Amino acid sequence: MASLAPGCVDEPAIVGACAGIGDCPERQVCVLLGPDGGVGACVTPMPTPGFPGTGNNPLNLDLFNELDVLFVVDDSPAIAPRLPQVAAAMTAFAAALQATEPAPSLRFGVTTTDAGNPRCAAAEAGALRMESCRARLDEFVDADAGVDAREACTAACSLASLELTPTPGPDGEVAVRPWLEVGGNGGNLPDGVELAEALRCAVPQGVAGCEFTSPLASLERAVARSEDEADPAYGFLRETADLLVVVISAGNDCSVAPGHEAIFSDNQVFWGDLQLPDLSPAICWRAGVVCDGPGPVYDDCRPIDRGDDGAEASPEQAVLTSVQHFAEMLQYLQLLRQTVDVKARVRLFSVAGVPPEGQAIPYADADEPGFQTQHGIGPGCSDTIAAPPPVRLLAADDATELEELPAASICEPDWSDAFTRAAVVASENLGPNCYPRCVFDWDPETPELDHVCDVGAIIFTENSEDRGAAVCPRGRRVGQPGRLAALLHRPHRRRARPALRRGGLQPRARAVAVRARSAGDVLLRLVPGVGESGRRLPGAVRCLLRHVVIDMSKGTCHSMAGGARLDGGERP
């Protein structure tokens, strides 16, 4: 009998031929020793760090298949030319997210950039809104600004209303929630309504909101509402879910710090030539941004904390809430989730006043006096819409030191690619996990890894229901050498794995892509460091190895004992 590869299993304890785990005694698994998959030997798995399994469940992992998406959407008159793009992008976004198998648990909440300002009568202040735009067409008209954008809703949305299904909350109470949900507990979409259609109707927020856009403050208040048991949004954000924040804004951030609202009423330090009642968001540019150079073209612009007197101040004394405050909030949200899953990610994706990808943001005074009066700076991009550079928004994202999603240009006529990319990145931790242990190549003559691998799994849901593991169709590449799939073409940074050589272990730096051999292959990736606490959380998975062949890739993972490979071939 051929020896098995060190690092994969202990020396085999042969009790007879086996065809599956049911043929082996407790604490052993069946390892195939022939290319036809019909004959195997019972072996005792070697304990793997981070996966302390026992009995017929030697390898454990936690599978977190949840993603929360929070949209913070501009509802000022400035967004009107891009409302068709807001709706259209939802089709590509939903398709990319739902391409993940098995179907993940997805939640979508929507709020506006209107967080409250003395110059505006009312504000959502982070409240989640989940209503068809056809039920609020009056919000797509701003008579004072001469804007009527109702067609942007009616052309994209066919739903007169969104009659959502009641679902249980964190406390078990069943109620209609102010968010969309698919997967998980079955979802809450109305019968016959697809996710893309629901998003096209729900995400566009009209043009009747405040021109002093404050996406960062709205984000913070939406997070606070999700933690407030008295708020309808309570429980929207899950600690077991990755979080993607999508900000769509045609303005800069104007998040005024509590106690400093007078800069829009009595304190004229940042007004420049503005006079009541015609104040504009240019106040926010002067209060929160500083540029290098004499102008009219500037070398760079960056956030600054200024006090009521206009001088540079500490973050605690700043008239606009410091971007560092928002960065720390996002970092906290990620750390909180990483106490549950070390792979958890919080990401911020912005569609704002930046030029098309690959171009530097221009910082210059505007050629058009009206734009300069409105924003305090020239446009960061322009097309049928012009938008100022989102300095504070981009800086908050940069300061988080989280995994970055490049901002997309609000001036581009089509956002489909940008939203597809955002969905692919946000889905990194979703879907089937691919099994990375040693897999033997039964046909060394082919360039691909020809394996016989059948890994079973039982998934314990919140309701203790058993669900089958994801089945990879034949030929599907289930172990991507790229980190986020072909769209991103980024190098894989997986830890080096050992390959056996004469004289001992040598580092092996390249991960191996695996193709499903048959339509019945089920492949799971076991993530180091997960599952040590023993907590059973929603989505926890326990693997049952039924048939596993042992090898790493072509020409590697050979046995040190006797120079034999699993198939009995000699060491090359």
Tens of pLDDT, residue by residue over 54-64, are 333 333 344 56
Has residue 523 got a pLDDT over 70?
A: no
What is the average pLDDT across 6-29?
A: 52
Q: Residue 100 — pLDDT band, cuts 50, 70, 90? A: confident
Confidence label for 451 from pLDDT (cuts 50, 70 and 90): low
Q: How confident is the model at residue 430 (pLDDT cuts 50, 70, 90)?
A: confident
- Most confident of the ranges 318-322, 380-384, 497-501, 504-508: 318-322
Beta strands in 431-528 (DSSP E): 454-460, 466-467, 497-501, 504-508
Compute the average pLDDT of residues 113-137: 94
pLDDT attached to residue 170: 83
pLDDT at res. 565: 26
Helix (H, G, I), strand (E, B) or coil at 501: strand
Least trusted range by pLDDT, from 228-242, 270-284, 437-451: 437-451
pLDDT attached to residue 542: 27
pLDDT, residue 541, reads 27
| Whole-structure pTM value | 0.70
Residue 8 scores a pLDDT above 90? no
State mean pLDDT over 297-310: 96
What average pLDDT score do residues 298-305 get? Answer: 96
Q: What is the 3-state secondary structure (H, E, C) of 389-430?
A: CCHHHHHHHHHHCCCCCCCEECCCCCCHHHHHHHHHHHCCCC
Report whether pLDDT(53) > 80.
Answer: no
Q: Is the peptide bond before 102 cis (omega within 30 degrees of 0)?
A: yes
Taking 70 as the threshold, does the pLDDT of residue 86 lie above it? yes
Per-residue pLDDT for 321 more than 60?
yes
Averaged pLDDT, 293-318 = 95
Residue 258 pLDDT more than 80? Answer: yes
- Look at 4 and 221; give whichever has higher pLDDT: 221
Q: What is the DSSP letter of 528?
A: T
pLDDT at 165: 93
Q: Given this model, what pLDDT does residue 22 score?
A: 63
pLDDT of 41 reads: 63
Q: pLDDT band at residue 121, thresholds of 50, 70 and 90?
A: confident
d(CA 514, CA 481): 9
Of 526 and 78, more confident = 78
Please, which pLDDT band fits residue 17 given cuts at 50, 70 and 90? low
pLDDT range class, residue 535, cuts 50, 70, 90: very low
Report which of 194, 393, 208 is spatially closest to residue 289, judged by C-alpha positions.
Answer: 393
Average pLDDT over residues 307-321: 96
Encoded amino acid at 276, one letter: L
**Pairwise pLDDT comparison (33 vs 414), residue with the higher score:** 414
Helix (H) or strand (E) holding 291: strand 289-292
pLDDT of residue 87: 96
**Cα 290 from Cα 311, distance rounded (Å):** 11
Helix (H, G, I), strand (E, B) or coil at 238: coil
Q: How far apart are CA 24 and CA 14, in angstroms?
A: 10
The pLDDT value recorded for residue 501 is: 25
pLDDT at 19: 64
Q: What is the mean pLDDT of residues 239-263?
A: 95
**pLDDT given for residue 171 in this prediction:** 79
pLDDT for position 544: 26
pLDDT digits (tens, 9 = 90+) for 481-522: 222 222 222 222 222 222 222 222 222 222 222 333 333 333
What is the per-residue pLDDT for 457? 39
Paired with 177 in beta bridges are none
Better-predicted residue by pLDDT, 220 or 28: 220
- How far is the C-alpha of 376 from the C-alpha of 373, rounded, in Å? 6
Predicted local confidence at residue 424, as pLDDT: 92
**pLDDT confidence bin for 380, thresholds 50/70/90:** very high
Residue that has been written with the tokens 């700043």 in this structure: 318
Q: Give the per-residue pLDDT at 552.
A: 26
Backbone angles phi, psi at 269, to 5 degrees: -55, -35
Least confidently predicted of 296-300, 406-410, 467-471:
467-471
Neighbour tally for 122: CB within 10 Å: 10
Residues of the chain with pLDDT > 70, as a percent, come to: 64
Examine the pLDDT at 148 and tell me if it is beyond 50. Answer: yes
